[in-house]
Structure 1
Amino acid sequence: MVKIIIQPVISSWRCVIKTATSESTLRLLRRLLFLLLLVPIVIFAGTGPFLSRASGPGTAVLLNIMGPIGPAVSDYVQRGIKKAEEEHAALIILQMDTPGGFDHSMRDIIKNILASPVPVVSYVAPGGSRAASAGTYILYASHVAAMAPTTNLGAATPVQVGRLPGKPEKEPDAPEKEAGQEEKKEKPVPADTLERKMVNDAVAYIKALANRHGRNAQWAEQAVREAVSLTAEEALAINVIDLVAAGHADLLLQLDGREVIMETGRLTLAAKGLVIEPFEPDWRTKILTVITDPNVAYILMLLGIYGLIYEIANPGFILPGIVGTICLLLALYTFQILPINYAGLALIVLGISFLIAETFVPSFGALGVGGVLAFVVGSIILMDEEGMRISLFLIGSTALVSAGFFLWVMSRLYTMRKKKVVTGAEEMIGITGEAMEDFTEQGRVWVHGESWQARSTAPVIKGQKIQVTAKDGLLLKVKILQEDAS
Structure 2
Amino acid sequence: MKLTRIALYSALLAVAFVLIWVSPSQAEDGEGQTVFFVPVEETVERGLEAFMKRAVETAEEENVDHIVFEMNTPGGRVDAAGEIAKIVRETEIPTTAFIVREAMSAGAYISLNANEIVMQPGTEMGSAQVIDGTGQAADDKAQSAWLGNMRSAAEINDRDPRYALAMADPSIELEDLNVGEGELLTLTASEALSVGYAEAVVDDREELMEYLGLEEASQEEFELSLAENIARLVTHPVVIPILLSIGGLGLILELYSPGFGIPGIMGASALFLFFFGHTVAGFAGLESLILFVVGAGLLVLEVFSPSFGIFGILGLGAILASLVLSSFSTVNILISFVIAMLVTIAGMALLIKYADRAGPMKRVILTDATTSELGYVSTETRSELQGSTGKALTVLRPSGSALINEERLDVVSEGGYIEQGRKIKVISVSGSRIVVREITEDETLKKKEEDE
Structure 2 residue aligned with 1:275, among 218, 238, 252?
218
**Deviation for aligned residue 1:124:** 0.9
**Deviation for aligned residue 1:318:** 9.7
The one-letter amino acid of 1:134's match is A
- For 1:142, what is the secondary structure of its paired residue? coil
Instruction: Give unpaired runs (5+ residues) of structure 1.
Output: 9-52, 171-191, 257-270, 362-405, 410-419, 434-454, 461-468, 478-485
1:309–1:91 distance in 2 versus 1, CA, 3 Å: same
CA distance, structure 2, for counterparts of residue 200 and residue 295 of structure 1: 26
Structure 1 residue aligned with 2:124, among 126, 129, 152?
152
Instruction: Give unpaired runs (5+ residues) of structure 2.
Output: 9-25, 171-183, 276-322, 357-370, 385-401, 408-428, 435-450
CA distance, structure 1, for counterparts of residue 207 and residue 249 of structure 2: 54
**Deviation for aligned residue 1:314:** 6.5
- 8 Å Cα contact 1:147/1:244 also seen in 2: yes
1:327–1:338 distance in 2 versus 1, CA, 3 Å: farther
Aligned runs of 1:250-329 on 2, under 5 Å?
A: 250-256=207-213, 271-293=214-236, 296-311=239-254, 324=267, 327-328=270-271
CA distance, structure 1, for counterparts of residue 160 and residue 123 of structure 2: 18
Superposed CA deviations along residues 15-34 of structure 1, whole A, max 9, x for unmatched, are xxxxxxxxxxxxxxxxxxxx
CA distance, structure 1, for counterparts of residue 352 and residue 57 of structure 2: 58
Aligned runs of 1:387-466 on 2, under 5 Å?
A: 422-425=373-376, 457-459=404-406
- For 1:121, what is the secondary structure of its paired residue? strand
**Deviation for aligned residue 1:155:** 1.1
Q: CA RMSD in A?
A: 4.6
CA distance, structure 2, for counterparts of residue 421 and residue 243 of structure 1: 88
The one-letter amino acid of 1:99's match is P
- For 1:92, what is the secondary structure of its paired residue? strand
1:221–1:327 distance in 2 versus 1, CA, 3 Å: same
- 8 Å Cα contact 1:297/1:335 also seen in 2: no
1:323–1:336 distance in 2 versus 1, CA, 3 Å: farther
The one-letter amino acid of 2:132's match is Q
Superposed CA deviations along residues 448-484 of structure 1, whole A, max 9, x for unmatched, are xxxxxxx994238xxxxxxxx7767xxx99xxxxxxx
- 8 Å Cα contact 2:245/2:339 also seen in 1: no
Superposed CA deviations along residues 362-402 of structure 1, whole A, max 9, x for unmatched, are xxxxxxxxxxxxxxxxxxxxxxxxxxxxxxxxxxxxxxxxx
CA distance, structure 2, for counterparts of residue 345 and residue 231 of structure 1: 42
1:122–1:431 distance in 2 versus 1, CA, 3 Å: farther
CA distance, structure 1, for counterparts of residue 240 and residue 335 of structure 2: 17
- Residue matched to 2:80: 105
CA distance, structure 2, for counterparts of residue 340 and residue 282 of structure 1: 26
The one-letter amino acid of 1:459's match is E
- Residue matched to 2:199: 242
Superposed CA deviations along residues 96-122 of structure 1, whole A, max 9, x for unmatched, are 111112222212221221221211111
Pairing 1:64–2:7 present: no
- Residue matched to 1:213: 157
**Deviation for aligned residue 1:144:** 0.7
CA distance, structure 2, for counterparts of residue 338 and residue 103 of structure 1: 15
CA distance, structure 2, for counterparts of residue 335 and residue 456 of structure 1: 81
- Residue matched to 2:105: 133
* TM-score, structure 1 as length reference: 0.52
- 8 Å Cα contact 1:97/1:124 also seen in 2: yes
**Deviation for aligned residue 1:317:** 5.6
The one-letter amino acid of 2:202's match is A
| Identical columns (%) | 22
The one-letter amino acid of 2:122's match is T
Superposed CA deviations along residues 230-262 of structure 1, whole A, max 9, x for unmatched, are 111111111122111111011111122xxxxxx
**Deviation for aligned residue 1:310:** 2.6
**Deviation for aligned residue 1:219:** 0.6
Superposed CA deviations along residues 188-227 of structure 1, whole A, max 9, x for unmatched, are xxxx8xx111111111112112111011210101111123
